[in-house]
Chains A and B, each alone.
Chain A
Amino acid sequence: MKIPFSWLKKHVALAANPDQIADDLVRLGHEVEGVETPRAAVKGVRVGLIESKTAHPDADKLSLLKVNIGEAEPLDIVCGAANMGEGDKVPVATIGTALPGGLKIKKGKIRGEVSCGMCCSEVELGLAEDSDGLLILPADAPVGAEVGEYLELEEAVFDLSITPNRGDCMNVRGIARDLAADAGLPLVEISMADFAVDDAVAVPNVSVSAGADCPVYLARSIQGVNVTDSPDWMQASLIMAGMRPVNGIVDVLNYIMLDLGQPMHAFDADRLTGDIVIRSAMQHEGFAALDGRELKLHAGDLVVSDDASVIALAGIMGSGATGVTGTTTNIVLESAFFRPARVSETRRIYAMVSEASMRFERGVDPAMVGIAMQRATAMIVELFGGKAGDIRQCGDADAINAGRTVDCSVSAIATRLGVDIPPSADDVLARMGFDVKRYGDQLDVTVPSFRHDVSIPEDLSEEYARIIGFDAIPAVLPPLAVTRPARQDRSVHDAVSGGFLQVVTYAFVSADEQRLFVADDGMDIVLENPISDAMSVMRRSPWPGLLNIARYNLNRQQPGVALVEQGRIYARADAGQHNETNTLAWLMVGQAQPDTWYAPARQADFFDLKGAVEAWLSLRGLTGRFIADDAIQGLQAGQSARILVGRTEVGRIGRVDSEIATGFDMDVPVFVAEINLDVLPSGKKAKFASLPEFPGVERDLVFLFDKHTSSDAILNAVKSSAGKFLTNVRVFDLYEGKGVPEGKVSLGIRFTLQDAKRTLTQEDADAASASIIAAMEKRFGASLRG
């Protein structure tokens, strides 16, 4: 909300400058988003009294003036204007003054006569586009005073962000009230021009059938108005406050709303049919709003209607057909209190926001309903003529929000704030409109009708905090509780230490991306109001997000990336439930190792990623088994596997299907993996076992196996056949090609035997070898290689 400084000063005689006021507003809880200065004060222009005026000896059109600006000697000024005479008071720009147009006043001679300043017109002061002579100031203007201060030329507009609880501050008077209370200044009485009520003007027929939503409704007819533009000062004020002038009647009502906070509406009486009723809408009843929209209303919406149609969505917007135009002569004014929740709900249904609805849904001041009606009537009659009839009133404003009290203890508030509540704070609260009584520790506070936000002691504590000032509240560390800390989740940290860059991607993907790795089984979680189709479905696989990031980086000349992400995946579960599963996911593509002085570049393959996953598992004391699975959606058969820890399937790994990779602009192999962190068993903390004292025996055996024999199966067979001394076995060589028959691979196995009680002999090793050889032959038909 925009509030001009000059408008504020109509309600309270503020002495501080706009910068200080801005600071005060922030301290009081009204965020100042900016201070615009449409007009700065002119400094150095002073009120001068023309003591004598004589003709210039060498120029017909120039005069020689002696001007008293309150100093010992009057100034000699040569002036070209004609509209001034002795005894007039005029603005005098003194030597050194910079005028708004850029002119800087210097001492000089004009046609041989000395001139020590310049008398100014409105144009030179930046107050008007043209003028026909000097600005003649009122006779009581104090000689020597700064004209800028005297005329209050300085203007600033505060752009405030009013919090939703402070509907009472969505108007100039509300803000002025806070500032006045804070500064200890009185609030100026609301001025009200007199007008006569003409009994000949019929009182509108109004009835309210939805009293709960409309506890008070005032209506009045004014006949014979001549709708012209509103006065310049009002238009200027409205524009500074961010509103567009429309016509005289609408401008007055907007002005009243900005000034006092009461939204009002005017109907063109000649376009109404019969009586006015405030009622609930009928289901599917039509309404043609002022903004051109045709609404189908819902039962329960609060409307103002006449005998023919809905003429307003109460508190939100009037109809296009019954609005006031330049040709309107008879009007019906409306001033009412509509229930905030009603206005809020209806406003949200139709996504319709107006200045009126913003105020009604935050709660207007019931006490202002009648005052605003009187003030608006007075202004309309004064500016546009017409005869005002009496008010038709339905309901009672006094009954709304009246006499609410908060009882609490001073010490409870002091404890909540951590600071004493001095009695002087009560005075400020009283100036804010509260009725405050203190009896020892007991505090009885009656809340003013405009403060819908104060009803419990905690609300009062906020008022006291604002009054005392948050800066005055000491910073104290509370007693700290010491609890047993939970073990930190190191999942992503360990993956990063393995050489992967952590990424963070959005939790939503496109439906098409979802389908790449997850079948359409109806378990997707879809957003009702997504940002775009590309971000419309909650991800069930972390891989599309990673593929997008890989593409982004490969498109920026990266030769390869190794990425990891920790985050949730989301899917529907039975019985309307859903699951959020913590997942760690990897992606590798392109160069795993760049060209270096010690090694040539190497492209990532399956075993780079598998190694990373194995290393990650081993950091948590776990060993994974990788079970080949050719049926994992989106992964290439023959290069994909399920990952098991014990009997639990904890994840998947593999090469992304080449067509999918191409879809992400990658024509090189892409490898991905994921681990479900929620099902991953927690690894066991290692238990100590004594280290072997006796040396082990190491042996190598090389066999010819059929191609595609699982090395996992081979090693398992070794483990079960090598006997009790086996401590370690691994594949140390893998070869196919020259010297190895077609369809076969040469696989070298290195195993270690060791015993805790003695040094093993060659015979022990020979026995184990023989047993392994036999097992390989029996199990795989493998033969020992030459």
Chain B
Amino acid sequence: MSEIDALKLQLESLQSEALAAFSAADSLNDLQALRVSYLGKKGALTEVLKGVGKLPPEDRPVIGKFVNQTKQALAAALDATEAELAVKAKSARIESEKVDVSLPGRSGPKGALHPVQQGLDELTAIFVQMGFDVAEGPEIEDEFHNFDALNIPPEHPARAMHDTFFIKDMRNADGTEPMLLRTHTSPVQIRAMKRFLAEGGEPPLAVVAPGRVYRCDYDVTHSPMFHQVEVFKVDHDVSLSHLKGVLQYFLSAYFEKDVAIRLRPHYFPFTEPSAEVDIGCVFCAGKGCRICKGSGWIEVLGSGMIHPNVLKSVGIDAGEFSGFAFGLGVERMVMLKQGIPDLRLFFENDVRFLSRMGVAK
């Protein structure tokens, strides 16, 4: 056998041995080692090339070409195997990194706004959107703001119906009357109008006043502390018809559907005419159920045209301006909207109740 044939044979067997080794490799590391051992500087192919120098010069290009072919074949095989192994390795990694996506995510404790807060926020937002300013007032009030200025003089029967908490040993500014816990948010009407006028304002004036109020009454359906939102507007030619329009808009906005409303003539000292406002029962759609006592209507708030004596008490010309006002119980509105059956739940603050009711829609 000639030298060249022997070399060729050697290369062929090297190639077949290498290809076998490549396909046996089961990791990229093994394959890298094989690449070095066959194609590296001190690799098997290099060893073979060393024998080329012994060949006659005319044979050298022939065998050189043959060596190159072998080298390319091995390199191609290595690349192919490497790609294959890379795919396998990735699949294996993916498999090994698989998680149970149904396990709960990492999170801290979840907070929730109290349902009364949600009600206050929603109600206030509706009026702010309609251009009403937000106002607040003190909870410890004098009789002037809570009663007298609202056209409820001391001997008035309505005053007795308010179940007022009085403060021990605390008198009003001129020392003539005891201080009290406000029984409604209506005194904010007086304070807001006075402040507005003192700052040089001229009607129109439109105010929404949310806050805590107190009544000396504690049973299944009464809490000694609860929340009200007072709403009023004073302008030229404000009418009962405007009151009805605002009530219709706001009640539909709050309950997020078109609700039927009904005004019933009523009596409040601070409004004339006065009306109690019913909505079509949100539970039975007016058909009559236990909640609406079969009537199809649910009473939601008291309203009316501001009594001229109230405007006079703050120095607004009742001949030139008129206004409407209404006040609503926040707990009651939230109970109706969210189907909460018992007023006491709001003040027990059971965290299970709070968490459940805190879920935003």
Q: In the complex, what residue of chain B is closest to A499 when comparing beta carbons? A: B109
Least Cβ distance of B200 to chain A in Å?
15
Which residues of chain B in 201-250 are interfacial with respect to chain A, using CB atoms and an 8 Å cutoff? 204, 206, 212, 214, 216, 218, 224-225, 233, 235, 237-242, 244-249
Contact yes or no, B116 A504, CB < 8 A = yes
Closest CB of chain A to B136's CB: distance in Å? 9
Distance (Å) between the CB of B170 and the closest chain A CB? 7
Task: Determine whether the beta carbon of B266 is less than 8 Å from that of A416.
Answer: no
Which of B66-74, B89-97, B341-349 sits within the interface?
B341-349
Residues in A whose Cβ lies below 8 Å from that of B181: 527
Residues of B within 8 A of A598 (CB): 106
- Which of the candidate stretches B10-18, B30-38, B40-48, B270-278 sits at the interface with the other chain? B270-278
- Tell me, yes or no, whether A308 is within 8 Å of chain B by CB: no
Residues of B within 8 A of A164 (CB): 156-158, 161, 267
* Shortest beta-carbon distance from A620 to chain B in Å: 17
Q: Is B264 in the interface zone, CB < 8 Å from A? A: yes
Residues of A contacting B133 in the complex (Cβ-Cβ under 8 angstroms): 483, 485-486
**Could you tell me if B354 and A502 are in contact, using CB atoms closer than 8 angstroms?**
yes
Residue numbers in A under 8 Å from B322 (CB-CB): 415-416
What is the 8 Å Cβ interface bit string for chain A, positions 476-517, against chain B (1 contact, 0 not)?
111111110110000011011111111111111000000000
> 8 Å CB contacts to B: which residues of A336-365?
340-341, 344-345, 348, 361-362
Contact A525 B170, beta carbon cutoff 8 Å:
yes
**Would you give the shortest CB distance from A730 to chain B, in whole angstroms?**
21
Known: A478-B246, A480-B130. A507 touches B139 (CB 8 A): yes
Contacts of B354 in A (CB 8 A): 501-503
Closest residue on chain B to residue A465 by CB atoms: B273
For B127-146 the 0/1 string (1 means CB < 8 A from A) is 01011011000111000000
A29-B266, A471-B262, A596-B104 given; A461·B305 CB < 8 A: yes
Task: Name the residue on A nearest B128 (C-beta).
Answer: A485
Does the CB pair B165–A530 fall under 8 Å? yes
B346 contact set on A, CB distance < 8 A: 504
B111 touching A458 by the CB < 8 A rule?
no
Per-residue CB proximity of A533-544 to B under 8 Å, as 1/0?
Answer: 001001000000
Are the C-beta atoms of A580 and B140 separated by less than 8 Å?
yes
Give the interface segment out of A207-215, A236-244, A381-389, A557-565.
A557-565
| Min CB gap A656→B, angstroms | 18
Q: How distant is the Cα of A207 from the Cα of B358 in the complex, in angstroms?
A: 70
Residues of chain A lying within 8 A (CB to CB) of residue B305? 416, 458, 461
B6 interfacial contact with A, CB 8 Å: no
Residue of A whose beta carbon sits closest to that of B304: A462
Assess whether B166 is interfacial by the CB under 8 Å rule: yes
Contacts of A578 in B (CB 8 A): 140, 170, 179
Number of A-B contacts (CB under 8 A): 237
A492 to B346, CA, bound (A): 17
Query: Is A462 a contact partner of B138 (Cβ separation < 8 A)?
Result: no
Query: Is there an interface contact between B267 and A527, defined as CB atoms closer than 8 Å?
Result: no
Q: Whole-angstrom distance from the CB of B104 to the nearest CB of chain A?
A: 7
**Cβ of B351 and Cβ of A558 under 8 Å apart?**
yes
Q: Is A481 in contact with B355, judged by CB distance below 8 angstroms?
A: no
A502 touches B117 (CB 8 A): yes
With A163-B267, A362-B157, A486-B133: A417-B241 Cβ-Cβ less than 8 Å: yes
Range class of the A interface residue count: 35 or more
B113 at the interface (CB under 8 A from A): yes
Query: How far, in angstroms, from A362 to B248 measured CA to CA in the complex?
Result: 34
Residues on the B chain within 8 Å of A474, using CB: 241, 244-245
* In the complex, A279 has a CB within 8 A of chain B: no
Whether A501 pairs with B358 at a CB distance below 8 angstroms is yes
- Interface residues as binary, A9-40 with B (CB distance below 8 Å gives 1, 0 otherwise): 00000000000000000111101000000000
Q: Which residue of B lies closest to A498 (CB)?
A: B111
- State whether the Cβ of B199 lies closer than 8 Å to any Cβ in chain A: no
**Shortest beta-carbon distance, B250 to chain A, in Å?**
10
Q: Mark B273-315, 1 if CB is under 8 A from A, else 0.
A: 1111000000000000000000000000000010110000000
Interface status of A572 (Cβ within 8 A of chain B): yes
Residue numbers in B under 8 Å from A163 (CB-CB): 266-267
- Say yes or no: A345 contacts B155, CB within 8 Å: yes
Tell me if A255 is interfacial: C-beta within 8 Å of chain B.
no
Is the CB–CB distance between A417 and B112 below 8 Å?
A: no
Contacts of A485 in B (CB 8 A): 128, 133
Q: Contacts of A531 on B, CB cut-off 8 Å?
A: 216, 218, 224
Cα A471 to Cα B351 in complex, Å, equals 44
Is B167 a contact partner of A466 (Cβ separation < 8 A)? no
- Interface core residue of B106, B112, B167, B307 (most chain A CB under 10 Å): B167
Contact B235 A478 (CB under 8 A): yes
The answer to whether B248 touches A504, judged by C-beta atoms less than 8 angstroms apart, is no
Q: Is A561's CB under 8 angstroms from B103's CB?
A: no
With known contacts A416-B240, A475-B245, A492–B106 Cβ distance under 8 A: no
Q: Let me know if A439 is at the binding interface, CB within 8 A.
A: no
Closest chain B residue to A464, Cβ basis: B273
Collect the chain A residues with CB atoms within 8 Å of residue B166's CB. 527-529
B114 within 8 A of A: yes
Q: What 1/0 flags go to B91-126 for Cβ under 8 Å of A?
A: 000000000000110101111111011000000000
A642 on the B face (CB < 8 A):
no
Chain B residues with CB under 8 A of A471: 262-263
A443–B26 CA distance with the chains assembled, in angstroms: 108
- Min Cβ gap A557→B in Å is 10
**Contact between A475 and B113 (Cβ–Cβ < 8 Å)?**
no
Known: A486-B134, A501-B112. A477 touches B267 (CB 8 A): no
Residues of chain B lying within 8 A (CB to CB) of residue A526: 167-169
Mask for A432-474, Cβ within 8 A of B = 1, else 0? Answer: 0000000000000000000000001011011001100011011
| Smallest Cβ-Cβ distance to A361: which chain B residue | B157
Whether A458 pairs with B307 at a CB distance below 8 angstroms is yes
A574-600 vs B: 1/0 string, CB under 8 Å? 001010100000000000110011100
Measured in the bound complex, the distance between the Cα atoms of B131 and A710 in whole Å is: 51
State whether A477 touches B246 (Cβ < 8 A). yes
* B 153-188 binary contact with A (CB < 8 Å = 1; else 0): 011111011000111111101010011010000000
- Interface assignment of A165: CB less than 8 Å from any CB of chain B: yes
Q: Which of the 9-residue segments A183-191, A548-556, A776-784 touches chain B? A: A548-556
Chain A residues whose C-beta falls within 8 Å of the C-beta of B157 in the assembled complex: 164, 344, 361-362
Cα separation A592 to B109 with both chains bound (whole Å): 8
Q: Does A419 make an interface contact (CB < 8 A)?
A: yes
State A246–B232 Cα separation when bound (angstroms): 50
Q: A418-B240, A478-B246 are in contact. Are A580 and B139 (CB under 8 A)?
A: yes
Bound together, the chains give a CA A345 to CA B153 distance in angstroms of: 11
Q: In whole angstroms, how far apart are the Cα atoms of A775 and B295 in the complex?
A: 81
Chain B positions within 8 Å of A53 at CB level: none
- Whether B64 sits at the interface, judged by CB under 8 Å, is no
Which single member of A344, A461, A482, A576 contacts B273 (CB below 8 Å)?
A: A461
Q: Which residues of A contact B165 (CB under 8 A)?
A: 527-530
Residues of A within 8 A of B168 (CB): 526-528
Which residues B303-338 have CB closer than 8 A to chain A? 305, 307-308, 322
Q: Which residue of A lies closest to B103 (CB)?
A: A597
The answer to whether A298 has its CB under 8 Å from any CB of chain B is no
Q: Determine how close the nearest CB of chain A comes to the CB of B20; give it in whole angstroms.
A: 47
Partner of A492, one of B113, B156, B273: B113
Q: Taking the complex as formed, is A568 at the interface, i.e. its CB lies under 8 A from any CB of chain B? A: yes
Q: In this assembly, does B5 line the interface, its C-beta being within 8 Å of a C-beta of chain A? A: no
Q: Is B350 an interface residue when CB atoms closer than 8 A count as contact?
A: yes
B51 cross-chain contacts in A, Cβ below 8 A: none
Other A-B contacts than A528-B166, A553-B351, 14 sampled, CB-CB below 8 A, are A28-B265, A29-B264, A344-B157, A416-B239, A461-B272, A470-B265, A478-B238, A482-B131, A493-B113, A504-B116, A505-B349, A531-B224, A572-B170, A580-B139
Q: List 17 A-B contacts (CB under 8 A).
A: A417-B273, A456-B308, A461-B305, A462-B273, A465-B273, A466-B265, A470-B265, A470-B275, A492-B113, A501-B112, A507-B214, A529-B216, A562-B109, A563-B349, A578-B170, A580-B139, A580-B140
| Chain A to chain B: the 7 pairs with minimum beta-carbon distance, closest first | A418-B241, A29-B265, A163-B267, A418-B239, A462-B273, A496-B111, A470-B263
